[in-house]
Structure 1
Amino acid sequence: MAPSPPLSRRSVLALGGSAALGAVLAACDVGTRPVPMTGDGTTATGTAGGPAPRLQQWYHQYGEEGVREAVERYAAEYEAADVTVSWQPGAYDRTTVTALVGGEGPDVFEYPNGPSVDMIRDGLVVDLTDVFGDALADFTPSMIERMTYDGKIWAIPQVIDTQVLVYRPSLLEQMGLEPPRTMEDLQVAARELTTDQVKGLFLGNDGGAQRMGGPMLWSAGLDYLEDDEVAFDSAGAAEALTVLRTFWTDEVLLLDSPQDWDDPAPLTSGRAAMQWTGLWTFPQIRAELGDDVGAIPWPSMPGGSPSVPVGAYGSCVSARATDVEAARDFARWLWVEKTEHQLDFATSYGVHIPARLSLVPQADVLADGPAKDVAAYVVEHGHVQTPLLWTPRAQAAWAEMMGRVVREGAEPQAELDALVPLVEEELERVAV
């Protein structure tokens, strides 16, 4: 398989984690899974007067220029341990889990939306609840909740990302259109803006099958799960997915872009009048379009509200770290104590939202324009990308179902009903 191109923090919002994770864990014999080194899952930190602990820290391969140099600079500044940063290209999620299961993985590592429930249950990571101290209330509450299982917090949110509907105001004005606030408005706008040269809407080359399922549910007032029970088959879900399919059948979607949804080129090149993309693309959009750009949440349907997905890479500590306590100390230093590094990481390499609430007002890149609007949308309309109990197996089945509905025209209610037993089986397996 050819290596994947460099990614950015956008990948945390692509599919909500690796669909292959469940298969990796299931393929491993129970005897090979890591177990805590002591009763509390920690080891002693170093030896008095001895050499500093040596730690391996892993990141996925970010696409934004300067990120690698920044995280290497952070690690070099830390004096209590010798930290080596490793840049992991390709299928990062799967590679990381495989390495952790094999006992040769990193000591500290990032993972999309924190570790999966399977990683937690199989003892691959350690509890980080106590590393937050008094700073816990300063972290984005929805992400802390997402990274909590069985009353314990398993990761430290590093930075918040989101996706929104970005549009060219000049093109809407030419057609006498206002930015769409409802799904009906969006359908009308997509049709009116579609010409021989321009498509009204770009949701990705798959028509939004892999990433618009959540926004469609939220905008209809629904979710994947509610109170740890299936909620995606409630009244209105099939109608929401039918609307997404309608964009395809109305032929208003750009479907053959050389770049996918995580790159703003479909919008900036003029091939699409509206595009679903991430906050991280805003510097490029502003550089190419100037002030001819606006951003709105995914529009609402009757009974629902506008919505945006919220995700965050979380810093985790391996249960088989060479020195678990030293690894926890480093994670605490970088992602809890060093607020100047956290602000730099969030705002100096693309546009992202700091995970700490107190740092958001200090983020100059979020001070005005569409980026400021998006930061407000995260608070007003944000939904955690996927619940923790929405397992990789559930996500894989959901993704396949969405492809059948959006691209092949499968009947939504039948597809949703068929998915319920599998998800209920997963919930029974992982519920506390």
Structure 2
Amino acid sequence: MSALSNNNWSRRSLFRAAAGMAAAGTLAACGSNNGRGGGSGSGTQLTQMFHAYGEAGVEQAVKRYPTAYKSADVTTQWITSSDYESKLFATLLTKSAPDVFEFHPQIQMVKSGQVADLSDIIDPVKDDFNPADIKSHTVDGKIYGVRMIDDPQFFFYRPSLFEKAGVKVPETLDELIEISAKLTTSKMKGLYLGNDLHAIISPLIWSAGADTLDDKNQIAYHTPGVVEGLKKMRKLFTSGDLLLGAPTDYWDPSALNQGLCAIQFCGMWAMPQFQKALGDDIGVFPFPKTVDSGKQSVYNGGWSMFVNAKGDNVDAAKEYVKWLWIDQKKDQEDFATSYGFHIPPRTSIAASATKLKSGLPAEGVKLFNEFGHFDNIGWTQAMIQASWDLLANCVRKAGDPEKALDQCDTTVNRELKKLFG
């Protein structure tokens, strides 16, 4: 799910704040925008923290679900400002910390003892989860966090504009650059990748046939194919065919919907908004392969629910998470398909989600299954920031890719040594 309001949301799952767990210096107030669950008066009080999703109805749904829970009173902290991560991390260092919170799998939260092991509640249904979602939340055989939604990201385009320009869906980065030029007019740019391009760094790596880290938690992105991809992105950046400085960022469908561009990188969550604005004149394709030896890719973001291992009600919090995000399949499907389109991590729910079975959503699911890549729990906030800097240095500033990759390596290796020795 996205925030389709430009003011109340920082980014999708890829577009993260650089701040790590230790970066929170002051307590940030959570505001009075709370929702009270309707428990049975058992005396157990739990707090759950969510970032402000932009689609209409999500906040009401998140506050509605726990009203049916009988074992505790659940209060919802709904963070409407753009810096959800820093507010979360700051609050986790205080007595006001939530018992349950949503975020992304991050190994430093495991290493610091911040998140509870949820293996006991997930193991009985483990086989009903997408195996990649289990893997991305697992450290040393233990599962931390329950995936709530999977959010594939790809390119959205208008077939009518492709037909008019006489171009086909690109399968290579060179073809994407070429058709972006052909689609650019005096009133419209060919392509939009977001205002700072951060969203495409991981797909760029995967589409070059590389990866962020390998199975031994060593650098896997410093390859000739990635160097070539960075050079091509610089060419695109300076071409005049790329939309820069759009009113909203890549996660909001406005750029394509309002005719500012012909192709936009965005997420499956925005499909209903695209369809409402453009009708049938909308299609999707994966990130093209960077080099001949590469392969098309789809970044799979999403959100997961974690239990604060340093809270006062860990067992009660785990029971609540089990109840809502494992037992309540109807609510899980509602959360995934009623407020934008997302893929349920539970294979049984994904198989029965009627809204995803045909048309554009079905095409999105197909791309997700064929080309999808998931978060690596060892790819930390500091590493993410280093990769953003890499892209900025090579693409926005015309830096030498090899030197920029060496700088990125230094940061990533320092982090890897801290985490894995």
Taking structure 2 as the reference length, the TM-score comes to: 0.91
Name the amino acid aligned to 1:104: S
- Cα distance in 2 for partners of 1:193, 1:409 equals 25
SS at match of 1:126: coil
- Cα distance in 2 for partners of 1:176, 1:184 equals 16
Residue 11 of structure 1 is matched in structure 2 by 12
The answer to whether 1:103 aligns with 2:102 is no
Identify which of 400, 403, 422 aligns with 2:392: 403
Identify which of 280, 303, 317 aligns with 2:269: 280
Identify which of 221, 226, 229 aligns with 1:237: 226
Residue 124 of structure 2 is matched in structure 1 by 134
Residue 176 of structure 1 is matched in structure 2 by 166
The answer to whether 1:84 aligns with 2:72 is no
The answer to whether 1:56 aligns with 2:47 is yes
The answer to whether 1:427 aligns with 2:398 is no
Asked whether the 8 Å contact 2:195–2:249 carries over to 1, the reply is: yes
SS at match of 1:11: coil
- Cα distance in 1 for partners of 2:150, 2:134 equals 12
- Say how many residue pairs are matched: 401
- Cα distance in 2 for partners of 1:407, 1:287 equals 34
- Cα distance in 2 for partners of 1:130, 1:203 equals 41
Residue 192 of structure 1 is matched in structure 2 by 182
Identify which of 327, 340, 347 aligns with 2:337: 347
- Cα distance in 2 for partners of 1:85, 1:190 equals 44
1:200-219 alignment to 2 at 5 Å? 200-206=190-196, 208=197, 210-219=198-207
1:28-427 alignment to 2 at 5 Å? 51-90=42-81, 91-111=83-103, 113-114=104-105, 116-206=106-196, 208=197, 210-227=198-215, 228-300=217-289, 301-385=291-375, 387-427=376-416
| Alignment root-mean-square deviation, CA | 1.9
Q: Alpha-carbon deviation of 1:159?
A: 0.6
Mark the runs of 5 or more structure 2 residues left unpaired by the alignment.
27-39
Name the amino acid aligned to 2:48: Q
SS at match of 1:7: coil
Q: Alpha-carbon deviation of 1:4?
A: 7.9
- Cα distance in 2 for partners of 1:255, 1:172 equals 21
SS at match of 1:201: strand
Asked whether the 8 Å contact 1:75–1:85 carries over to 2, the reply is: no
- Cα distance in 2 for partners of 1:342, 1:272 equals 34
SS at match of 1:354: coil
- Cα distance in 1 for partners of 2:294, 2:353 equals 31
- Cα distance in 1 for partners of 2:123, 2:301 equals 23
SS at match of 1:240: helix
Name the amino acid aligned to 1:6: N
Q: Alpha-carbon deviation of 1:65?
A: 0.7
- Cα distance in 1 for partners of 2:97, 2:402 equals 42
Asked whether the 8 Å contact 1:110–1:316 carries over to 2, the reply is: yes
